[in-house]
Amino acid sequence: MNQQGHMASYGQPQPGYQGYQQFGYNSQHTAGVPTSQYGPYNGPVQGYQPTAVAQGPLRTASGAPPTSLPPSTAAQSIAYNQYGQGDVQNGPAMSDQSQRFPVSQPYMPGNHPMPYQQYAPLHSNAQQLPNQMAAMQISGSTNNAPPSASQSYGPPASHHQTAPTFPPTGPGSYTQYATPLQNIPSSVPQGGNLPQHPFPGQPVPVSTFTSPPTSTGLTGSALPPPPGVPRPPAMHGPPLSGQPQTGLPPSQPPTGHYPPQLNHIPTGPQSGMPGVVTGPPTQGFQAHPTQPSQGLIPQQNGSFGQVRSPQPNFAAPYTGAPSYTSQPQPQQKRLDPDSIPSPIQVIEDDKSNRGTEPFSTGVRGQVPPLVTTDFVVKDQGNASPRFIRCAAYNLPCTSDMAKQCQVPLTAVIKPLATLPADEAPPYIVDHGETGPIRCNRCKAYMCPYMQFIEGGRKFQCAFCSCVSEVLPHYFQHLDHTGKRMDCYDRPELSLGSYEFLATVDYCKNNKIPNPPAFIFMIDVSYNALKSGLVHLLCEELKTLLDYLPREGNAEESAIRVGFVTYNKVLHFYNVKSSLAQPQMMVVSDIADMFVPLLDGFLVNVNESRAVINSLFEQIPEMFADTRETETVFGPVIQAGLEALKAAECAGKLFIFHSTLPLAEAPGKLKNRDDKKLINTDKEKVLFQPQTSFYNNLAKECVAQGCCVDLFLFPNQYVDVATLGLVTYQTGGSIYKYTFFQAQADGERFLNDLHRDVRKVIGFDAVMRVRTSTGIRATDFFGSFYMSNTTDVELAALDCDKAITVEFKHDDKLNEDAGAQIQCALLYTSCSGQRRLRIHNLSLNCCTQLADLYRNCETDTLINYFVKLAYRGVLSNPTKTVRENLINQSAQILACYRKHCASPSSAGQLILPECMKLLPVYLNCVLKSDVLQPGTEVSTDDRTYVRQLVTSMDVAETNVFFYPRLLPVHKMDMDSDDFPVAIRCSEERLSKGGIYLLENGLSLFIWIGMNTQHDLIQSIFNVQSFGQIDSAMTALPMLDNPYSKKLRSMVDMIRAQRPRFMKLMIVKQDDKMELLFKHFLMEDKSVNGGASYVDFLCHMHKEIRQLLS
């Protein structure tokens, strides 16, 4: 008979993954997930008797042995009982992450106690055991003994285990793989006890979740039995016919059933592996849910099997082995979500390991802490990761290696990123009239990588190796190490990031630029007035203009302002300080736009304040009775552009617009929204602009340095793909407030507007990325315009915008010299000063793929993949784009499996340590509204998100695609820290809990129906769950610790994100809950997106196809 393992079998394609439990509302539950804390909403809770679930293995009453063992329970019973812990599911989980042994400690039979012996480490053949059985045909039966009295259902009394609970596990020597020593991790985690496996290829107990940056837990020989346990003979091959089977099942070709087990837990047959013998499977093990754990469910670092909740002093239980009884096994158990890589675990580990020490940038090719970790940067010669992050910090030396591994060589650059208060902004260097020192050939700017020679009279360029003369005024003697004596006095010789003051040679038309201008252009059509927008905006602008960006310690901003209102025609306002009242000039000839006044249109705010305030009083009254519903849009941008041209300055247009521009005018659009095109080959036209008019207009805007920020207030389709094009190509920002009502959405809009007006910004910018010989920048993603292949042109660039750059080989790289990247941004500051901001980064180069995979950053990789995909939808069907993403990711992981992981069965899914979250994050991207929309998502929303994501940095894409879900009911009142996040899945939510979910654009508070009344009273100021008003958008200000802490959390989360998130209250089983569940990214989505578990199985199948 075919025996199936306890996880999803997917040797052959299975339509719909029939083996998986589908989560729903009818008491359906996953084993191993603590119900009270994590069960699906209507799953069993204490004191609640669930009905039997059709899809999964039946649960028996507590203590009663099951009459027959389905693969799941039987599997676990062998696995756990065999390793002296037959009840791992039921003990209280500990959140601390186990003591760790010194790396060098030998593991030998002896009498000294080992805290992890109770789990007989699961590497090598012992690991293969359950999985070999999963993939073989079994004959004969085994005696299922009940569990021995010594096996208690709870935490072990001590670390000593009695000998009889240990099964023999095979020969006891470690297999030493010949691997270079540089793979040893630089630091052993604190508490130093469990053996960390220092070399890729060296076996290690799977449950030591402290792998170095390579894959974890390789196959090797098994561990010895404890003293006193006889070692049974190894079985090689199948028993003779008729012979009872006592040890391993016969070795037969795989039947195609391979449970996906990650990072070195073999899941397929390993023929001819001696020394693998199991103890008899025991009966009576029950798959009851564990008690709620306090805090994290620890997750293995790279080694994943069927893991149950954690045990005291131990970081994760053993993978369940399949039973091999002769009884039929009708159901196949769903892969346990706790056994696969957890984003939360990785994030928390990184915080604890890397969040305490400052990150010094002095070492080449250092991988920085994750974007989710709060850390301080010390610039010692390489740019801070806040400015540049790479997907790989160790680049392959040749293009062949790069093609083989398929890891994109990419950097995400955020040139004007905001730094925290405890980090100094880049120093400004002034070289006087001569300007910045540069290489004569490649024009790279002076940086710490330049080599001074001939006593300091010349320097050799680190990028092109050209030797240039040092100008007399810049000369300095060298010390005995060849460094200049003034090295640490000059930012450009000692820091990774700094600014040069640019000379007139760097200015347009060789003229020092005028200070920039802001022009506010307000839609005064019927919709804009009815929603309360015009009144709200005019009130706000009276005070907002006090906060225009200013230079350093300047008393007032140098930025001038102008005002236009429009519907089918445009109204310009003269607000010259000498006037008593503002004057309005109407331009109705919109086919040929011009600015009717020069003097008095752009003014200094302080000088004209009285006139400006008078204008804001009058605008809402002037248009109060309008019945004009049609608007224009193209001429509005043209008017702003002409005004900036006339004033000979760069600037920004703030356009507040409400409807599709249907009025007769240049840039007129028609409603072309068509849901029928979704998932067809023509779907791409929905993302493309419907006319070339705006393309040409964008080009003109960039040439003038005219940036467009667009605030949209639509009640229906407005064609964001076309209206947003100028914004996108000029480096502007787009904001969208669908069905805007001043009372409900005003807070969000005004906060966004404030931040948009006040943020750090550079105008009329050009960015160029130079690289050392061997690689070059070939592709760019972001909000900008390119008229050639090297210069990224931006009408403006603000502190939130990031540009993703891809590099390709054009020659071989040198392992010793490494690779250098220099990003130079030329821009005009808000005071009109022309500057160059320089960021330098040096990377390592390698000839071994293992070194590449050890120094990757998944978050940056995902940032690149999503931007690649979101650009791909402009020219390809979304289905093709999704397939391409999956293929490239599968190739990356298959290459690692083939070239870097130690030999093991094909049934294993082995992931590089640095990329173990690639599948879960990739699945989030594939399920996003742009690539896989549900019926409720509008075309405009998809285009809007597509545009937003294109200029996001790594931190923003990280939380946008895998939202942060915080258990509010676990807030520690005595600590400033947030509660530890939980995984984005419905089964993690407790009926008795309150959760906060945020993704940078949306903010929800979800309340379970069984939440304690005291907690509801403390936060919402009502007596019960039923009285909570789900229409509220702000928490009541109450004087108690819970309310204060939660409101402070919400404020801090909003402050971390570039856009204001409107709070939405979601009650369990409420109609809004569907929207909330859309953000639970590990679950199946309504529109057909796979769950994390299913997608992992799919990825494994893809990888195995590539390998075969």
Q: What's the distance, Cα to Cα, between the start and end of the chain in Å?
A: 26
Question: Mean pLDDT for the chain?
Answer: 77
Over residues 799-818, the mean pLDDT reads 96
Question: How long a stretch of residues is the chain?
Answer: 1108
Strands (DSSP E) contained in 814-967 are 819-828, 834-846, 908-909, 964-967
In angstroms, rounded to a whole number, what is the distance separating the alpha carbons of residues 425 and 131? 55
Per the model's pLDDT, the better-predicted residue between 936 and 57 turns out to be 936
Look at residue 332 in the predicted model and tell me its pLDDT: 54
3-state secondary structure 464-476: CCCEEECCHHHCC
Nearest of 1099, 691, 686, 1048 to residue 891 by alpha carbon? 1099
In angstroms, rounded to a whole number, what is the distance separating the alpha carbons of residues 545 and 613? 10
Between helix 878-899 and helix 1092-1107 the angle, nearest 10°, is 60
Tokens coding 975: 């600590």
> Would you tell me how many other CB atoms lie within 10 Å of the CB of residue 1013?
11
Tokens coding 36: 């009270």
3-state secondary structure 541-553: HHHHHHHCCCCCC
Residue 784 has pLDDT above 60, yes or no: yes
Amino acid at 883: E
> Would you tell me how many other CB atoms lie within 10 Å of the CB of residue 927?
24
Nearest of 733, 816, 834 to residue 1060 by alpha carbon? 733
Strands (DSSP E) contained in 115-204 are none
Residue 82's alpha-carbon distances to 85, 121, 171, 282, 339, in angstroms, are 7, 12, 17, 8, 19
Contact yes or no for 968/996 (Cβ under 8 A): yes
Per the model's pLDDT, the better-predicted residue between 779 and 271 turns out to be 779
Over residues 28-51, the mean pLDDT reads 36
Look at residue 904 in the predicted model and tell me its pLDDT: 81
Tell me the whole-structure pTM to 2 decimals. Answer: 0.74
Nearest of 316, 364, 243 to residue 96 by alpha carbon? 316
Residue 498 has pLDDT above 60, yes or no: yes
In angstroms, rounded to a whole number, what is the distance separating the alpha carbons of residues 1087 and 245? 48
For the stretch 904-948, pLDDT in tens is: 887 888 999 999 999 999 999 999 999 988 788 999 999 999 999
Contact yes or no for 278/144 (Cβ under 8 A): no
Contact yes or no for 195/188 (Cβ under 8 A): no
In angstroms, rounded to a whole number, what is the distance separating the alpha carbons of residues 345 and 712? 39
3-state secondary structure of 519: strand
Over residues 988-1006, the mean pLDDT reads 96
DSSP 1000: S
In angstroms, rounded to a whole number, what is the distance separating the alpha carbons of residues 412 and 371? 12
Nearest of 404, 383, 402 to residue 394 by alpha carbon? 402
3-state secondary structure of 392: strand
Residue 666 has pLDDT above 60, yes or no: yes
Look at residue 331 in the predicted model and tell me its pLDDT: 52
Contact yes or no for 423/384 (Cβ under 8 A): yes
Across-strand partners of 1067? 1007
Over residues 809-822, the mean pLDDT reads 95
Nearest of 128, 206, 113 to residue 169 by alpha carbon? 128
In angstroms, rounded to a whole number, what is the distance separating the alpha carbons of residues 421 and 407? 35
DSSP 885: H
Nearest of 87, 592, 148 to residue 291 by alpha carbon? 87
For the stretch 1017-1031, pLDDT in tens is: 999 999 999 999 999
Residue 11 CB burial class (10 angstroms; 0-12, 13-18, ≥19): middle
Element (H, E) at 459: strand 458-460
> Would you tell me how many other CB atoms lie within 10 Å of the CB of residue 45?
17
Residue 372's alpha-carbon distances to 299, 377, 923, 983, in angstroms, are 17, 14, 19, 15
For the stretch 212-249, pLDDT in tens is: 333 333 333 333 444 444 444 333 444 444 444 444 33
Residue 1046 CB burial class (10 angstroms; 0-12, 13-18, ≥19): buried
Look at residue 619 in the predicted model and tell me its pLDDT: 97
In angstroms, rounded to a whole number, what is the distance separating the alpha carbons of residues 109 and 129? 21
DSSP 819: E
The helix, strand and coil proportions of the chain, stated in percent and rounded to the nearest 5, come to: 30, 15, 55
Look at residue 240 in the predicted model and tell me its pLDDT: 40
Residue 199 has pLDDT above 50, yes or no: no
Using 50, 70 and 90 to split pLDDT, how confident is the model at 716?
very high
Using 50, 70 and 90 to split pLDDT, how confident is the model at 7?
very low
Using 50, 70 and 90 to split pLDDT, how confident is the model at 333?
low
Residue 130 has pLDDT above 60, yes or no: no
Over residues 437-451, the mean pLDDT reads 96
Scored b (16 or more CB within 10 A) or e, 161-189 reads beeebbbbbbbeebeeeebeeebebeebb
In angstroms, rounded to a whole number, what is the distance separating the alpha carbons of residues 452 and 460? 6
In angstroms, rounded to a whole number, what is the distance separating the alpha carbons of residues 237 and 166? 24
Nearest of 867, 873, 854 to residue 806 by alpha carbon? 867
Q: Kindly state the percentage of the chain with pLDDT values over 90.
A: 65
Contact yes or no for 156/119 (Cβ under 8 A): no
For the stretch 69-90, pLDDT in tens is: 333 333 333 333 333 333 333 3
Tokens coding 570: 């445009």
Residue 812 CB burial class (10 angstroms; 0-12, 13-18, ≥19): middle
Beta-strand relationship, 734-736 and 706-712: parallel
CA 833 to the chain's CA centroid: 36
Nearest of 941, 533, 540, 938 to residue 741 by alpha carbon? 533
Look at residue 908 in the predicted model and tell me its pLDDT: 83
Residue 1098's alpha-carbon distances to 920, 973, 1101, in angstroms, are 12, 43, 5
